[in-house]
Amino acid sequence: MGQPMPRICPGCRQRVVGECKPCAAARRVEPKRRSRAGYGRNERRRRADHVRVHVEQYGWVCPGWRRDPHPATDLTADHVNPRAAGGRIDGQLRVLCRSCNSSRQAELDTPVVPGLALTLVAGPPAAGKNAYVREHAAKGDLVIDYDAIAVALQLDGTGLYEHIDAHGPFVAEARDAVLDRLVLGNHDVRRAWVISTAAKRTVRDSYRRRYGARVVVVLAAEELCLRRAMAERPEQWRRYVREWFDAYEPDERDEIVRGT
């Protein structure tokens, strides 16, 4: 018999002979993951493309999770910062084999840095989250604040709350990279604070599972937050305040602090 003819893979649109291994690997996912919101055809194709680029650069080699790089034909792509922890649907991906990816997921579900005390300070915009952290944090603590990162990526003199929409993906990935580095351990940080709106219960719970975090919700009246937003922040922040209160899900495990 003659050699098989090249064909166009319907998944990644690349010329292949026989089975397209990256796309085949991307299709071999658990049924429950296929049905999750945000993991449709486009996301599966994005993951297949990420695996394909990895293979083109490094071959069928897993970078390893807590182990050395090793040959693997079951490479998968998954979020660096999981969706359950507040990561973006289109967030940064990493390639691992299935065994390493499973080990990583199990590790992310438990606090992996002994001695690290992480506090998630959640709450609506303009409730006083930054003031709470300034009052309770100490010199040497790590503070992860989306607003501060956004300002750091702009020209000097930009206001703390004057976000540029086009910068959003870069700001989110910078924040996620710091969080992911915390998970890896091998550092001297002993106290960390994450400032986030985190209206959804599942997002706050993910910090408990991944970091053993203490969760503080700085809760102020909606009218007070709106007045502050009108006086101190750009116009769109009033919408952010209303959206937070519409989405907020209480949890009896949260420590509630009344904003003033």
Give 123-178 as a 3 state SS string. Answer: CCCCCCHHHHHHHHCCCCCEEEEHHHHHHHCCCCCCCCCCCCHHHHHHHHHHHHHH
Q: What value, to the nearest 5°, has the Cα angle with vertex 231 and ends 228 and 234?
A: 100
Question: If you average pLDDT over every residue of the chain, what do you get?
Answer: 83
* Per-residue pLDDT tens over the stretch 188-217: 999 999 999 999 999 898 888 877 889 999
Q: What value, to the nearest 5°, has the Cα angle with vertex 104 and ends 98 and 93?
A: 75
The structure's pTM equals: 0.59
| Range ranked top by mean pLDDT from 24-38, 67-81, 118-132 | 118-132
* CA nearest to 254, candidates 209, 214, 212, 221: 214
Could you tell me which residue, 15 or 249, shows the higher pLDDT? 249
Query: Looking at the DSSP assignment, which residues form a beta bridge with residue 16?
Result: 7
Stretch among 137-141, 183-187, 221-225, 228-232 having the lowest mean pLDDT:
183-187
Eight-state DSSP code of residue 48: H
Q: SS in 3 state form for 64-114?
A: CCCCCCEECCCEEEEECCCHHHCCCCCCCEEEEEHHHHHHHHHHHCCCCCC
- Residue 88, pLDDT > 90, answer no
Could you tell me which residue, 151 or 109, shows the higher pLDDT? 151
Confidence bin at 222 (pLDDT 50/70/90): very high
Domains annotated for the chain, with CATH where assigned, are 11-108 (no CATH), 117-258 (3.40.50.300)
Confidence bin at 84 (pLDDT 50/70/90): low
